[in-house]
Copies of this chain bind each other. A is one copy, B any other.
Amino acid sequence: MSDVMLDQSTAETVSRRSRRGPRQKGALRQKPWARFQNRLPPVEVLSQDEVESIRLASLKLLSEVGMEMHDAWAREVMQQAGCDVDHGTMRVRFDPSFVEEQLAKAPSTFTIRARNPERNLTLGGNHINIGSVIGPPYCSDLDRGRRNGNTQDVRNFVRLLQSLNTIHYLYGTPFEAMELAPEIRHLQGYINGIELTDKVWGSWMLGRSRAEDAINMACMVFDTDRDGLAAQPALMANINTNSPLVLDAAMTHGARAFAETGQAVVVTPFTLAGAMAPATLAGALVGQNAEAIAAITLLQTVRPGLPCVYGSFTSNVDMRTGAPAFGTPEYAQAVFASGQLARLQGLPWRSSNACASNVEDVQAAYESEMSIWSTVMSHCNLMIHGGGWLEGGLTASFEKLILDAEMLQVMTAALQPIDVSPATLGLEAFKEVGPGGHFFGAADTLQRYENAFYEPMVTDWSNFENWRDRGSLTATQRANGIWKKMLDEYEAPAINPDLLADLKAYAAQREAEIASGIGTD
């Protein structure tokens, strides 16, 4: 365990104090904020024939089996657009050419604006945006272990998401604040995202009212109306299909609100091969593609040109126990194939940095690395769960967040071009040093000393004796010290106090309304 103990309330106090006082000289080093484009060609594991046959099979599936759409409005929209709809069974069957027509309307690239314009995000092409973990009921750290998520931990985690330059996108609730009633958690989450960060923040999509609250608060942030928000989308959020082949009512309601207001919708089937999809990777990809393009077809029918993201979450289950498995060979293969499917259909796409391990150990690291390298090398435009995901998504870990940030920094740096210019080829340095010499003191080395190589956050390169004498800390234990220091150094981005007061007043009013049963759909 770390020698620095810091309880929640202390961290919250320290964090507030540091915002008022002068910034401490941080020993924390990290790469500066930067957008990330992978200029290398994507790794592609399927032949063009193979990726096309998966696409065609998914169209056949939508035509012959179809999708259950639990929301009557969605079925009406599809019926009016000419689809074969059975309201009794809620089944919608799609003509392949109709689906292709609708998908063609979706933009292949779009921009989402942030409160700080330098944090705007581009989705599409070889742009890779990294988001934090979303959704766990638990959080954990080395000091206090695994526990229910709560507002104070959520807000500290969000402060870290603001501080970590590897994180481009976040939810104001990276995990659930379980002490709050489920109906009002989103309001505090939006406040967190707006107050504590200047990055793009995501919205709850479970039901219309949660999405509407996000839209209303985004309008306040950008001092605009819904048309203005539609002209420059500021929200991007995820809906899941209920695999296999179901789009439920609550997710549809959230997506409908976004579609009507021109905000970006990520559609992610949860196609675990062997459970919610066939026990083959190809079959699971057929399911994934069918469900994603069915929902995007609905959204493009409602609002042609709506920014949509093709979501991929295909992995497998342990066939012995049914447990979901992440960071597996099949997971990486599915990531590569999903990139090909998204590109074939002209859609930006989303994947994840997923792992199954219950603890921040070597398994968590190698599962995450398999997720990260496959995701990055297949030009995934939105890597959700990029930081902090543990235990198959049931826990958000403070240490894992820091470890992920290091892994992502290393990956990003490894994909930068190598400078191959006459000066870097080193012939003069070799002549200066000569055979058997040493480059430590060479003029060329001294000149490059400061910024020659990647400087890590977590990695310890010291020798065994020095490492042992400093307490034999593992990387996970060092990460514990780092997030505390980062929290201590956190600086809240500037925000107009009137705006913040208005947002809080809006949230308070909505809480009261919800308590009275108003706007809870």
Give the B-binding residues of A (Cβ under 8 A): 40, 43-46, 50, 53-54, 57, 60-61, 64-68, 91, 146, 242, 244-246, 273-284, 286-287, 316-319, 321-325, 327-330, 332-333, 337, 356-367, 369-370, 373-374, 377, 391, 394-395, 403, 406-407, 410-411, 413-421, 424-427, 429-431, 433-440, 442, 444-445, 448-450, 452-454, 456, 458-464, 467-468, 472, 474-476, 479
Give CA–CA (A410, B468) in the complex, Å: 32
Check if B245 sits within 8 Å of A430, measured CB to CB: yes
**In angstroms, how far is the closest chain B Cβ from the Cβ of A112?**
28
Which residue in chain B gives the minimum CB-CB distance to A394? B464
Contacts of A417 in B (CB 8 A): 45
**Complex contact B319–A452 (CB within 8 A):** yes
Interface centre among A68, A286, A329 (most CB of B within 10 A): A329
Contacts of A357 in B (CB 8 A): 459-460, 475
A360 to B472, CA, bound (A): 12
- Bound-state Cα–Cα, A332 to B449, Å: 20
Chain B residues with CB under 8 A of A277: 426, 439
So how many copies of this chain end up in the complex? 2
Residue from the set A332, A369, A463 with the largest chain B CB neighbour count within 10 Å: A369
Whether A276 contacts B419 in the complex (CB less than 8 A), given A330-B453, A434-B65, comes out as no
CB–CB A418/B50 < 8 A: yes
CB atoms of B440 and A281 under 8 A apart: no
- The answer to whether A418 and B366 touch across the interface, beta carbons within 8 angstroms, is no
The 7 A-B residue pairs with the shortest CB-CB distance in the complex, in nearest-first order: A283-B426, A278-B426, A329-B413, A365-B365, A369-B369, A245-B435, A363-B475
Is B358 within 8 A of A65, CB to CB? no
Name the residue of chain B whose CB is nearest to the CB of A395: B464
A166 CB, nearest partner CB in chain B, Å: 13
B461 contacts A275, CB within 8 Å? no
- Alpha-carbon separation in the docked complex, A450 to B320 (Å): 9
Residues in B with CB closer than 8 Å to A416 are 329, 333
What are 24 inter-chain pairs, A to B, with CB distance below 8 A? Answer: A40-B45, A45-B417, A46-B418, A50-B420, A246-B436, A274-B452, A278-B424, A281-B419, A282-B426, A283-B425, A284-B426, A286-B425, A287-B426, A316-B452, A316-B453, A323-B461, A329-B411, A329-B413, A333-B418, A359-B467, A359-B472, A367-B459, A370-B411, A377-B377
Q: How far is the CA of A474 from the CA of B357 in the complex (A)?
A: 9
Chain B residues with Cβ below 8 Å from A273 are 452-453
Is B414's CB under 8 angstroms from A374's CB? yes
Chain B residues near A50 (CB, 8 Å)? 418, 420
Question: CB-CB < 8 A to A275: which residues of B?
Answer: 438-440
Partner of A64, one of B337, B431, B464: B431
In the complex formed, the residue of B with least CB distance to A413 is B329
Please, how many angstroms separate the alpha-carbon atoms of A363 and B399 in the complex?
A: 13
Q: Are A318 and B438 in contact (CB under 8 A)?
A: no
Contact A458 B363 (CB under 8 A): yes
Contact A445 B278 (CB under 8 A): yes
A356 touches B418 (CB 8 A): no
Least CB separation from A467: chain B residue = B358
Please give, as numbers and ranges, the residues of chain B lying within 8 Å of A244 by CB-CB distance: 430, 433-437, 439
Q: Complex: how many Å from CA A146 to CA B245?
A: 54
Q: Which residues from B are CB-within-8-Å of A245? A: 430, 434-436
CB distance A329 to B454 under 8 Å? yes
CB distance from A367 to the nearest CB of B (A): 7
Contacts of A61 in B (CB 8 A): 427, 430
What's the minimum C-beta distance from A454 to chain B, rounded to whole angstroms?
A: 5
Q: How far is the CB of A369 from chain B (nearest CB, A)?
A: 4
Contact residues in B for A454 (Cβ distance below 8 Å)? 316, 328-330
CB distance from A231 to the nearest CB of B (A): 37
B419 touches A323 (CB 8 A): no
Q: Which of A337, A360, A394, A440 has the most CB of B within 10 A?
A: A440
> Is the beta-carbon distance between B464 and A146 smaller than 8 angstroms?
yes
Q: Which residue on chain B has the smallest CB distance to residue A417?
A: B45
| Complex Cα spacing A369 to B413, Å | 15
Contact A430 B319 (CB under 8 A): no
The residue that A274 contacts in the complex, of B328, B440, B460, B472, with Cβ under 8 A, is B440
Minimum CB–CB distance from A332 to chain B (whole Å) comes to 4
